[in-house]
Chains A and B, each alone.
Chain A
Amino acid sequence: MSQRLFARMAARCFLALLLLVGTADETLAANLKLEAKLIWGTDDDKSPNPAHKEVDVATRDKLRKVFKWKNYFVVNRSVKEVPSRASNNFNLSEECTIQIKELEGPRIEVKLIGKGKEVHKTTLTINKGESVVYSGDDKNQSAWFVIITELSEK
């Protein structure tokens, strides 16, 4: 092996190692799979919209322990992956969009967008099994909720 060939080979190995170091963290970081649900809370037994389905019993019981409404109906549901160090939009209705960004930590930045305008931003660590719930009053003593849950471990 000549000196030149050896030097070229060593340089290639060094570059490959640098590339590996630079990309290893990004490659190994998994995407965040999240579910966002738009829910309507009411004391009525049925939703006026027949397309709305009741939430599952576990979610209903959790919501009942925190909020005052008796019944909760799923208006829309969106499941998406948020790439590492990137963001994704969850369009739940014409007026309501949730933008979620994956941050280092691991933390997430949740942005509520209403009628195209940014309304609120929350940055937090989403713990195992934890839900992030946005809520607000609606007409006729009812309320709306957006429940964000991580579907898989990061």
Chain B
Amino acid sequence: MNVEQQLKLQAWLDGELSESEARQVAAFVQEDREAQAIIGELRLTKSFLAGNEPEATLPESGDFYWSKIRREIEQPEKAAAKPPGVSWAFAWRRLIAPLSGVALIAFLSILSLNVFHQQPVDDSARYLVEVENLSDDIGSISYRSQSENMFVVYLYKKDQETDSESHIEPIDDTFFQ
């Protein structure tokens, strides 16, 4: 006998089956010895339980009792939904990590903008050149060729007569410093 048949026997004993099902099970029990044995055991167990099971009685009506239980179940949920009362120090500690992250990102963004976005250099600073002769014997002539994008420093010995015009082609857009 399988579990389903055993459950059906139990349901039949408890009076939970429809009339047609109950008739079928009754016929089955009459013919099957194993079923009869099971039914005998179940009846014996039921008689024991019916005689010894403590009977609990509600102090109030059933509806009122269940409404109290429902209230008890719902109460913790409300309490959990309510924001906990925390101190400002605890709140600050929780905020310090994300605030530090945001501040760091902002700082790095500003820094990178300053580094990578070069400020336009005004022409006076861009073309400012400092030249210095470090030797007493050497003189220099320096100029910038705008057309050739070239800054030239021509060195010569001071003791020898120089004729820079003979070495350097005349350039319209240069200036001597």
Residues of A within 8 A of B (CB): 1, 6, 10, 13, 17, 21, 24-25, 28-29, 62, 65-68, 105, 111-112, 117-125, 127, 129-137, 143
Q: Which of A17, A117, A125, A143 has the largest count of B CB atoms less than 10 A from its CB?
A: A125
Nearest CB in chain B to that of A146: its residue: B153
CB of A120 within 8 A of CB of B153, answer yes
- Binary contact readout B118-148 vs A (1 if CB under 8 angstroms, 0 otherwise): 0001000111111111110010101001011
The dominant DSSP class at the B interface is: mixed
Tell me if B64 counts as interface (CB < 8 A to partner A). Answer: no
CB of B121 within 8 A of CB of A66, answer no
* Number of residues of chain B lying within 8 A (CB) of chain A: 40
Given the known interface contacts A119-B138, A121-B134, the answer about A66 and B155 at a Cβ–Cβ threshold of 8 Å is: no
CB of B93 within 8 A of CB of A6, answer yes
Q: List 6 A-B contacts (CB under 8 A).
A: A65-B169, A66-B169, A68-B169, A120-B153, A125-B121, A133-B152
Tell me if B38 counts as interface (CB < 8 A to partner A). Answer: no
CB of B129 within 8 A of CB of A136, answer no
CB of B151 within 8 A of CB of A130, answer yes
Given the known interface contacts A1-B93, A124-B128, A135-B155, the answer about A65 and B148 at a Cβ–Cβ threshold of 8 Å is: yes
Partner of B155, one of A120, A127, A129: A120
Tell me if B149 counts as interface (CB < 8 A to partner A). Answer: yes
Partner of A121, one of B107, B128, B131: B131
Shortest beta-carbon distance, A98 to chain B, in Å? 11
CB neighbours of B138 from chain A (8 A): 119-120
